[in-house]
A and B are shown apart, each in its own frame.
Chain A
Amino acid sequence: MSLEDIKKRTVLDPDGKEIEIDPLKDYYCAATPDMKMEQQKSSAPIIEKFANWARSESLWILAFGTGCGAIEMRPLMTPKYDAYRFGIQWRATPRQSNVFIISGYMSVKTLKRAIRAYEQMPSPKYVLGLGSCTINGGMYWDSYNTINRLDHYMPVDVYVVGCMPRPESILSGFDTLKKLIREGKGEGAAKYAENFEWYKKNQKQIIQDWDMPDYNW
């Protein structure tokens, strides 16, 4: 997308009539995320507990490698470490996945795509920050083009430290994530909805040419 794509303009409809379109209003939903909906719980605790167990055992990862850490996911997918036996699978599109692995350094350009992908994922959704770059910038801490703290742009559930973390550490990170979900602490989507303004402010502060709707759902 570019700034041109979201500008108001007049186009010809199939009948040859001139109509005015406003892409931000006509093509996208202008509503911001609803905290009440994100926090919705079942009335019976046992059902909620069961749902959390089910969620923890079906982690669908968005296959979007944002940095060098993505290379560690290949052995994880393949027989050597075989994450599939733990109910962890990779999916091709954000609409089909609920775990986003930010694998390593995140440049401003990638962050824009990552935000779009994260917002398109259905709740409940979890973010796993991989490597020291997502924690404090890692070895790119003084780079002009990579962010330093991922948790200022999207809510992070689990960090896996290392540069790069071995596939074993990522599996251990999944274990922690599963534990959090079972305890009902995987509330990243609700946190994002609650602090939506703050996240948007931080995102817009570094993404200068904001050429997409505020909420990409």
Chain B
Amino acid sequence: MNELIERLRNKFPVKDEVFQKDTLSFITTEKSQAIELVTHLRDYEGYTHLVLLTAVDWIEDGIFQLTYLLNNPTEKKDLGVLVMLDREDPVMTSSHHLWAAMATYQRELFEMFGISFPGSPRLEEPFILEGWHGIPPYRRDFDTKKYSQETYFQRPGRETHDPAEHMKKKMYPEG
């Protein structure tokens, strides 16, 4: 993995390498060159299989992290390419031309996180949610419990116990 990253470093801005295990590493790259890096990995380094594209909402730092997880089927290795996006203006270059599945991932991210991929096919069509208004539900500032309580009808009588406290009271009533 080390050699591969050294080779990549000659061509692309690569930083923050994480060697999770022998067969899995992560690298961070610049937004502007990320798709070129992913294309290079696919065409020259044997990372021909797209495992997934996903996002993480780092709300405290004001960024969305995109993870392109790629797999090399001959070497049986995985490489994650991380891209940081500005949370205020989450737009990323579309890469639907690389893998057919990419368009679906991008549609999902657009709906769930509000990350836009201009030019991606059927991007703005409803994917899982239909007729969703308001902020995308996977963003961390979306309060799912509050939304549920306001939107759906609660049945009274629901009780919640902290498991530790509950068992303590039950097993040692004298304390």
Contacts and interface: CB of A to CB of B under 8 A. Distances in A.
Interface stretch (B18-26, B57-65, B114-122, B126-134): B126-134
B129 A109 contact: yes
Interface string A83-120: 00000000000000000000000001100100000000
Contact of A108 (B130, B153, B154, B158): B130
Contact of A143 (B133, B144, B155, B157): B144
B161 interface: no
A144 B147 contact: yes
Q: Is the interface of B mostly helix, strand, loop or mixed?
A: loop
A202 B144 contact: no
A1 B132 CA distance: 16
Interface stretch (A14-22, A65-73, A206-214): A206-214
Given A141-B148, A144-B147, A149-B153, A136 B158 contact: yes
A135 B155 contact: yes
Instruction: Identify the interface centre among A148, A152, A209: most chain B CB within 10 Å of its CB.
Output: A148
B172 interface: no
A142 B145 contact: yes
B2 interface: no
Interface residues of A, number: 22
A59 interface: no
Interface string B130-146: 11110001000010110
24 contacts: A108-B129, A136-B154, A136-B155, A137-B152, A141-B158, A142-B144, A142-B148, A142-B149, A143-B144, A144-B148, A145-B137, A148-B148, A148-B152, A148-B154, A148-B155, A149-B153, A149-B154, A149-B155, A205-B151, A206-B151, A208-B131, A208-B132, A208-B133, A209-B131
Interface of B: 128-133, 137, 142, 144-145, 147-149, 151-155, 157-158
Given A142-B149, A144-B148, A205-B151, 10 more contacts: A109-B128, A137-B155, A141-B154, A141-B158, A143-B144, A144-B142, A145-B137, A148-B153, A209-B130, A209-B131
